[in-house]
Amino acid sequence: MSTTTIRVHCSRDYDVLIGSGLLQETGKLVEEVHNPCKVAIVSDSNVAPLYLDKVAASLSAAGFTPVSFVFPAGEASKNLSVYADILNFCAEQRLTRTDLIVALGGGVTGDMAGFAAASYLRGIEYVQMPTSLLAAVDSSVGGKTAVDIPAGKNLVGAFMQPLRVICDIDAFETLTEEVFHDGCAECIKYGVLESPRLLEIFAEGTAKENIEEVVAISVQTKANYVENDEFDTGLRRYLNLGHTIGHAIERTANFTLMHGHCVAIGMVMIARAGEGLYLTEPGTTEKLIRILETNELPISCDFTTEELLDGALADKKRKGDLISLIVPKHLGECLTHTVPVTELGTIIDLGKETSV
């Protein structure tokens, strides 16, 4: 059994363990960082039937007392009401400040269980056990936790780093192709930011065969940005590559398209706009399109510039009259391009297929 360990250095250092067969080792791996205690395992209705028993049995064998809370799978559950149910469950189970929460699932589970951990009794420890590729390479690392409110996604939450991240790559075998590819979009984003090796793997279409390496490079890349900007005030904005337009697409589509799919389109559009503005090496967009298509990701959408602009301007987290866009210089290096929001329409226009 091979395991890759990536140490994340920030306000509290922790390890991300990536490997095969880790779910059945949960008890031992948690015991390395926490004394036996009561553990509230939070999971969703898709993941729990597949993996909860294995994780609970392993925790019990190591002397922990697991209890579980399962909520209906899907983004619609990432709300204040389910979050309150988790807090109530922890209280009913009499979890104390020396007990633990384990988030077993995708990004929805990790974000919500993480926020419960950050706030229950003013904060208890938690362990992330990401089971989707997106959760493994993105949401489980970096300490951002959140729930959605009617005014927007992820508007309420906290920064709270986990005690450990345990990522069993075998869990990806039960993901649908669509959810797996959705996670690939974020990995390709890390490739465009700084990893030629990731781009090589995705260009060859061999992500599944190299999944441990893909997750390891992706986590290391995210960790590099998080370590230098834990509270998201500067450098971390590079992780938004493809996200300004991607979020606009998500919003315009009323969240019926998956996040990674929208980011894929957003990356293509910003690369094409970058070529139009002479910021991006000619040919970059074409290369990126080929990589995304090899991984069954979309490269365009039918929304008009006006619709996308409305979607981009509706971003509740947008601040001021300037907007910082992350633009590829070429595949493997990006730059920040700050423009007045009034220019965003022109950039979206340049990003559309008809412009080249």
Say whether residue 252 binds ligand NAD (CB under 6 A): no
- Binding window for ligand NAD (CB under 6 A); candidates: 12-20, 133-141, 197-205, 293-301: 133-141
Chain centroid to Cα 300, Å, comes to: 22
Say whether residue 171 binds ligand NAD (CB under 6 A): yes
- Binding window for ligand NAD (CB under 6 A); candidates: 127-135, 246-254, 274-282, 338-346: 127-135
Contact between 270 and 193 under an 8 Å Cβ cutoff? The reply is no
- How far apart are the C-alpha atoms of 166 and 5, rounded to whole Å? 10
Of 183, 132, 170, 180, the closest CA to residue 22 belongs to: 170
Question: Whose Cβ is closer to ligand NAD: residue 66's or residue 260's?
Answer: 260
59: Cβ–Cβ under 8 A, 6 or more apart, which residues? Answer: 26, 27, 30, 39, 41, 65, 66, 102
Residues 178-217, mask of contacts with ligand NAD (x by CB under 6 A): -x--x-----------------------------------
- How far apart are the C-alpha atoms of 244 and 327, rounded to whole Å? 11
- Binding window for ligand NAD (CB under 6 A); candidates: 72-80, 196-204, 226-234, 296-304: 72-80
210: Cβ–Cβ under 8 A, 6 or more apart, which residues? Answer: 201
Q: Kindly state the helix (H) or strand (E) to which residue 42 belongs, with its residue range.
A: strand 38-44
Q: Compute the least distance from the CB of residue 170 to ligand NAD, in Å.
A: 9
Size of the site for ligand NAD (CB under 6 A): 30
Six token digits for residue 228: 């230098």
Say whether residue 119 binds ligand NAD (CB under 6 A): no
Say whether residue 242 binds ligand NAD (CB under 6 A): no
Question: Whose Cβ is closer to ligand NAD: residue 23's or residue 273's?
Answer: 23
- Binding window for ligand NAD (CB under 6 A); candidates: 60-68, 171-179, 326-334, 341-349: 171-179
Say whether residue 108 binds ligand NAD (CB under 6 A): yes
- How far apart are the C-alpha atoms of 217 and 224, rounded to whole Å? 10
Phi, psi of 324 (to 5 degrees): -95, 115
Residues that bind ligand NAD (CB under 6 A): 44, 46-47, 50, 73-75, 78, 105-109, 111, 131-132, 134-135, 138-139, 142, 144, 153-154, 171, 174-175, 179, 182, 259
